[in-house]
């Protein structure tokens, strides 16, 4: 039975390699990309002789933002649940 399966297998040819334009488009850096702007700022600071404090500060701010966003999502869910409970109590009383 495996010989029947092997005969029916058709392998596709390899895709054409990407052009230079495709490669450049894939690695293009946008000026508003936060990762590269932090790295650029760090390079400029290094040239000026300053420390990595600004990069560290931005990293910590990003971590706090993510934590706060997660906490707000959790609180939102809790508030929605409490709202439904209050509606149910209001319906029972009135």
pLDDT digits (tens, 9 = 90+) for 73-86: 999 999 999 999 99
pLDDT at 16 over 60: yes
pLDDT single digits (tens) 38-74 = 666 656 656 665 566 888 888 899 999 999 999 999 9
Ranges of each domain in the chain: 19-93
- Alpha carbons 87 and 33: distance in angstroms, whole number: 45
pLDDT tens per residue across span 28-38: 877 777 766 66
Using CA atoms, how far apart are residues 17 and 79, in angstroms rounded to an integer?
53
Rounded to two decimals, the pTM is: 0.41
Q: Do the beta carbons of residue 38 and residue 55 sit within 8 Å?
A: yes
C-alpha–C-alpha distance, residues 66 and 93, integer Å: 41
Q: Which residue's entry shows tokens 């929605």?
A: 80
Per-residue exposure over 10-44, b if at least 16 CB sit within 10 Å of its own CB, e if not = eeeeeeeeeeeeeeeeeeeeeeeeeeeeeeeebee
């Amino acid at each position: 039975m495996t010989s029947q399966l092997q005969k029916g297998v058709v392998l596709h040819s390899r895709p054409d390699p990407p052009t230079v334009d495709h490669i450049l488009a894939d690695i293009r850096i946008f000026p508003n990309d936060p990762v590269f702007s932090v790295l650029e700022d760090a390079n400029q600071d290094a040239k000026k002789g300053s420390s990595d404090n600004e990069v560290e500060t931005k990293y910590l701010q990003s971590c706090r933002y993510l934590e706060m966003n997660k906490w707000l999502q959790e609180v939102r869910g809790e508030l929605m649940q409490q709202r439904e409970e209050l509606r149910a109590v209001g319906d029972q009383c009135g």
